[in-house]
Amino acid sequence: MSTNIDIQSNLMVEDDNLDQQYRHLPGDFLAQVYPEKVDRRVIDKECTLKQIIEYEQYLVCSICRKPCAGTCEYSGSK
Amino acid sequence: MRQGVGIDFGTTNSVVALYDSNLRRTEPLTNTRNLPHPSVVWYKADGSVKVGIEAKENLMGYSNVEGNSFVYSVKRKLGKEKTFHIFGHKLRSYEVAAEIFRYLREEAENRKSGYDINEAIVTIPVYFNGFARMELREAAERAGIFIRNFVHEPFAAIVGYCLQQGTGLHTDLMENQLILVYDWGGGTLDITLVQILDGGAVELATAGLEDKAGDYFDDKLARFSRSVLVEQLKIEPNKLNILPSDLDRLRSECERAKIGLSTKTTEAIRVASIWRRDGKLLDMDFHISRTDFNKLIESDVEESLSEVKKALETANVNAKEVDQVLLIGGTSRIPLVRDRLRDLFGHRIVEVQNANTIIAEGAAVVDAMGLQPSLARSINVELSDGTLYEIFKEGLVADTNVCRKKINFFCTDNRDGEAKLVIKDLAGRVSATKPLLKTVLSVPVSSTLPIPYQHERVTVEFALDDDMVLNVSGKGATQKEGVGSHIYDLCFGLKLQGGKNVDEH
């Protein structure tokens, strides 16, 4: 039986660059453990593009009040 | 270079071969009929044990006589925690297998005075799991034989094929060739696609069938014979109760008829006194044609071809690109099997002359030359960003001291309380690039999110053992206990001449 579901690894090799390890955390998880990193003023500098996208997926939309990731009919993406 | 000893411990037959490094010749130590020794053990009530041709020949006559017990195809039972009840004693399958090793050793030492068969290379099917290897090692050690290393049977066959008696190994003419080893014996079908590269043999893909081989065909033929008897006697099938000892005789007769049908178009199946009715003992006596036998096994032969295609597909190789197809094992001698393979590969089918002993001969060469298997594919861990982190590189000698590493990881998302260790192999320089292996080990970690946040650390150890099984164990830093996994289906290569295996970390 074939499937398109794949198990994604959640491990990174520990190296000497300890203060940069947070850049491997998923964006939504990063917001929980290091909220200061996703502050609007520093997010572009502190986070990778992937982390920013992941973080924004879970933000509650100010119009539809759901984490719609900009897809609700009111936010203009549709 | 030392004198080499190779042992092919087979489901149906077993044989020891020696390699004389001075003469550069192998010598298979077959029985008086120039055939390998049947892997049959005959236990007698007086405590004596007979193995080999004597056991096989008496199976028909004595299996239903009290005080006699026969065990055959014990290789299929290794690693499956199987016990045999022999005159009130429980024997583990490795204890029965030890009798075969003991017999092989005695026979070999009697034939070659001065030779001490206390160390050998033993061949194994590709899909022989770690537990089965462990039991095989135990069996050999009980017979006083230390297994220096295991070699996959198709590999040993390739080495045996590359040997030119009197001059040694020659791979020059086969450089870059793709060789498919089709080894269908009594217990398993092993298909291995090998490429000869830089004087070495590298596994590109493996496939096969477990428990669908010669023994399975014997059972099928026995069931067919039973149905013929039911028809002849005009009775209900459930009225025909054949005793287990008589079934052994029927099975043995079916094996003989099956072998006969490879050269004849019809064969008789005759078993005396197989069923009792109204106080009379009735015999089984009928003829089976090759056409009828072909019908019985047709679907299995097609299944074997699907496995061949699967191996080719995995290696991204077309059937037309395969240079040689080596036919090894008794089941590959069945005309229908050969015909179907000819349809696929044409004249590139090679009917190996010494097919009965080539595996043991190849193993003896491996032993004499001290050839060590190397990893045919690199072993990697997939990281959370999708990249691969190499643990062991391709070509690394498959040695317990070399293939050993401890790596510290950190978990990038511990919310579900598990670190997912994804292990994949990869071939860099050969045509196959798809991972053949993908193993996921779930290592428990803490799911709490302490503030300030500390990354969940996971230490993973990778170690190849003597049985060529990769043992992986992982432990979360905050956990009391770790978890482990065994990976036994690794692909190996063998350097046959020139150059050296990669031996660095």
The whole-number pLDDT of residue B221 equals: 93
Q: Which neighbouring-strand residues pair with B397?
A: B374
- Asked whether the beta carbons of residue A11 and residue B420 sit closer than 8 angstroms, the reply is yes
CA distance B183 to B307: 12
Tell me which chain A residues have a C-beta less than 8 angstroms from the C-beta of B387.
none
The whole-number pLDDT of residue B408 equals: 93
Tell me which chain B residues have a C-beta less than 8 angstroms from the C-beta of A9.
381-384, 420-422
B329: closest CA among B184, B230, B206, B443? B184
Tell me which chain A residues have a C-beta less than 8 angstroms from the C-beta of B472.
none
- Asked whether the beta carbons of residue B408 and residue A14 sit closer than 8 angstroms, the reply is yes
- Asked whether the beta carbons of residue B453 and residue A10 sit closer than 8 angstroms, the reply is no
Q: Which neighbouring-strand residues pair with B418?
A: B444
Beta-carbon contacts of residue B127 (< 8 Å; ≥ 6 apart): B188, B190, B206, B208, B210, B489
B90's tokens: 């429980």
Tell me which chain B residues have a C-beta less than 8 angstroms from the C-beta of A31.
none
- Asked whether the beta carbons of residue A7 and residue B457 sit closer than 8 angstroms, the reply is no
Residue B232, Cα to own-chain centre: how many angstroms?
40
Beta-carbon contacts of residue B285 (< 8 Å; ≥ 6 apart): B268, B269, B270
- Asked whether the beta carbons of residue B407 and residue A13 sit closer than 8 angstroms, the reply is yes
For residue A2, name the pLDDT band (cuts at 50, 70, 90): low
Letter for the amino acid at A7? I
Specify whether the CB–CB gap between B246 and B274 falls below 8 A: yes
CA distance B42 to B46: 12
User: Please, is B113 exposed, middle or buried when counting C-beta atoms within 10 Å of its C-beta (0-12, 13-18, 19+)?
Assistant: exposed
CA distance B88 to B134: 26
- The distance of A34 to chain B (nearest Cα, Å) reads 8
Task: Give, as one character, the DSSP assignment of residue A76.
Answer: T
CA distance B305 to B341: 8
User: Within 13 Å of residue A33, how many CA atoms lie on the same side as its CB?
Assistant: 23
Helices (H), B112-213: 130-142, 153-162
- Asked whether the beta carbons of residue A11 and residue B385 sit closer than 8 angstroms, the reply is no
Q: Select the residue of A9, A25, A32 nearest B422 (Cβ to Cβ).
A: A9
The whole-number pLDDT of residue B5 equals: 95
B128 CB neighbour count, 10 Å cutoff = 26
Beta-carbon contacts of residue B342 (< 8 Å; ≥ 6 apart): B349
The whole-number pLDDT of residue B420 equals: 93
CA distance B246 to B183: 30
Tell me which chain A residues have a C-beta less than 8 angstroms from the C-beta of B451.
33
- Asked whether the beta carbons of residue B409 and residue A33 sit closer than 8 angstroms, the reply is no
- Asked whether the beta carbons of residue A11 and residue B421 sit closer than 8 angstroms, the reply is yes
CA distance A55 to B244: 68
CA distance B398 to B378: 11
B311's tokens: 């191996």
Specify whether the CB–CB gap between B194 and B312 falls below 8 A: no
Interface size A-B, in CB pairs within 8 Å, comes to 63
pLDDT in tens for each of the 505 residues of chain B?
A: 568 999 999 988 999 999 988 888 899 999 888 889 999 999 998 889 999 999 988 887 787 788 888 998 899 899 888 889 888 889 999 999 999 999 999 999 988 877 789 999 999 987 787 789 889 999 999 999 999 989 888 889 999 998 877 677 777 778 889 999 999 988 888 899 988 887 788 888 888 888 788 889 999 999 999 899 888 888 887 777 777 778 888 888 999 999 999 999 999 999 888 877 777 788 888 999 999 999 999 999 999 999 999 999 988 899 999 999 999 988 999 999 999 999 999 989 998 888 889 999 999 999 998 888 888 888 999 999 889 999 999 888 888 899 999 999 999 998 889 999 999 887 654 444 566 677 888 999 888 766 666 778 899 999 998 888 899 999 998 888 899 998 877 878 887 654 344 333 3
Q: Which helix (H) or strand (E) holds A22?
A: none
Tell me which chain A residues have a C-beta less than 8 angstroms from the C-beta of B389.
13
B52: closest CA among B128, B108, B91, B5? B108
B221: closest CA among B321, B290, B306? B290
Q: Which neighbouring-strand residues pair with B389?
A: B381
CA distance B180 to B166: 25
Q: Select the residue of B409, B414, B422 nearest A12 (Cβ to Cβ).
A: B409
CA distance B321 to B161: 20
B8's tokens: 């092919």
Helices (H), B163-289: 214-233, 244-260
Is residue A11 within 8 angstroms of chain B, CB to CB? Answer: yes
Tell me which chain A residues have a C-beta less than 8 angstroms from the C-beta of B381.
9, 11
Beta-carbon contacts of residue B459 (< 8 Å; ≥ 6 apart): B406, B407, B408, B409, B474, B475, B477, B482
Query: Beta strands B40-44 and B68-72: pairing type?
Result: antiparallel
Surface of A (12-51) touching B: CB under 8 A: 12-14, 21, 24-26, 29, 32-34
Mean pLDDT of A36-45: 92
pTM of the model: 0.78
Task: Specify the length of chain A in residues.
Answer: 78
Residues of B with CB under 8 A from a CB of A: 381-385, 389, 407-415, 419-422, 440, 449, 451, 453, 455, 457-458
- The distance of B435 to chain A (nearest Cα, Å) reads 14
Nearest 5°: the CA angle B319, B212, B152 is 65
A42 CB neighbour count, 10 Å cutoff = 11
Q: Select the residue of A7, A10, A14 nearest B457 (Cβ to Cβ).
A: A14
